[in-house]
Structure 1
Amino acid sequence: MSPRRSVADTLETRQRILERSLAIASAEGLEGLTIGRLADELGMSKAGLLGHFGTKEGLQLAVVDEAAAVFSREVPERVKQAPSGLRHLRAVCEAWVSYLEREVLPGGCFFTAATTEFDGRDGRVRDALAGMNALWRRDLRIHIRRAMSFGELPGDTDVDQLIYEIVGIMLALNHFLQLEHDAAAPARARKAIRRLLGG
């Protein structure tokens, strides 16, 4: 086997591990990831699986990164062509609702589940989750401030309050979809977003 093929195979195997791990973690939490279970499901040895990540914490951190990549692809990347300002903010919110509505991950929003699991702990995984959430709030803040600068939102808009309410709507949507299996939840989320942002 050529070195190039060997590298490609290694990357494919790593991606397969991450995709399965993310599916499990979205439904059962990051602590639901056990090396033995993953090795059995993927037909690998425990040592072979750990060789890609070093430790269970290394695997968990890689899953956080993979979850961020999936979210980025499904939400901000889907609307990157939307006009700047309020229309972009609305498009982001619609993509976010759609992401949860389409059940891209079997357990719903990975970050909602993982943040609840790790928010009371210390450590690198908790810090990684907090960092990803902070980056996303920063992006929302940028879109809101642009809408304000264009005169599409009032100049005295409380940016932090608006972010709080948008995130709250999405948390409620994930709850009602995952726990209640409420098919009306996406429509309710869209109605709540319209009350906040118009349109």
Structure 2
Amino acid sequence: MTEIDGRRLRGAASRRVVLANAVDIASVEGLDGLSIGRLATAARVSKSGVATLFGTKERLQLATVEAASQRFRETVLEPARARPRGIRRIVALLDAWIAYSRDRVFPGGCFFNTAVADFDAKPGPVRDAIADALESWNGYLRFSLGYAVELGELDADADAAQLAFEFTALLESANSRSVMTGSNEPYRLARRALVSRLLAVGADLDVLRPLAEHGD
């Protein structure tokens, strides 16, 4: 039994190492750029070891999407949840998302921007997993905005779904432009636009200062 448990522990550790490399590679080269040989070299494990862990390329891609989702949750969502629900949590979410992209938590910027470019027109389980991850983020942002409306921190007629769409578009554009140019200026422009939009729907400027005054 001890020997079996030891093998399981080693297998779980190998899986974590391989997936850590997989998400980094896919953020730059896309999920279609993943291969057993490429990962074996990057993770310094055998090809047969990678094949045993995942079996097929599709299973590897699905596991990579889930690993990327977990890294995103740990980097963006969980720290923001320490803030009170409402506008303060929204500010924390937006600020954390910008930091996640700016600090290259994934070497290629936002993992999901790259994944969408690979799979937006390719139906199947991998596309569905990417779509679910994106909807999870968008839905949480939408819910948080709706809660701020309910609390009276945003105007009663503010459209949470519309705001979530606009904010996501701004963040994704800032990520793409920064990755392309190597400049942080897109993040500063995104912050300015996010603050302006929140002010337009009744947010308190003092609460927005952590988002507005970050130097990037």
TM interval, short-chain normalised = over 0.9
- Residue 7 of structure 1 corresponds to 8
Structure 2: 5+ residue stretches without partners: 200-207, 209-216
Contact (CA 8 Å) 1:26, 1:109: kept in 2 or not? Answer: yes
Using the alignment, how far apart are the partners of 1:72 and 1:43 within structure 2? 27
Using the alignment, how far apart are the partners of 1:141 and 1:125 within structure 2? 24
- Residue 101 of structure 1 corresponds to 102
**Greater Cα shift, 158-167 or 52-61:** 158-167
- Residue 171 of structure 2 corresponds to 170
TM superposition shift of 1:98: 0.8
**Residue-pair matches, total:** 199
Q: Which runs of 4+ in 1 moved over 6 A?
A: none
What fraction of aligned residue pairs are identical, expressed as a percent? 36
- Residue 16 of structure 1 corresponds to 17
TM-score, with structure 2 as normaliser: 0.88
Q: For residue 154 of structure 1, give the secondary structure of its aligned residue in structure 2.
A: coil
TM superposition shift of 1:96: 0.5
Matches within 5 A, 1:44-123: 44-123=45-124
Matches within 5 A, 1:182-197: 182-197=183-198
- Residue 29 of structure 2 corresponds to 28
Using the alignment, how far apart are the partners of 1:109 and 1:41 within structure 2? 20
TM-score, with structure 1 as normaliser: 0.95
Using the alignment, how far apart are the partners of 2:92 and 2:184 within structure 1? 21
Structure 1: 5+ residue stretches without partners: none
Using the alignment, how far apart are the partners of 1:5 and 1:134 within structure 2? 38
TM superposition shift of 1:42: 3.0
Which amino acid in 2 is paired with 1:44?
Answer: V
Using the alignment, how far apart are the partners of 1:186 and 1:17 within structure 2? 31
The structure whose RCO (Cα within 8 Å, separation 6+) is larger is: 1
RMSD of equivalent CA atoms:
1.3
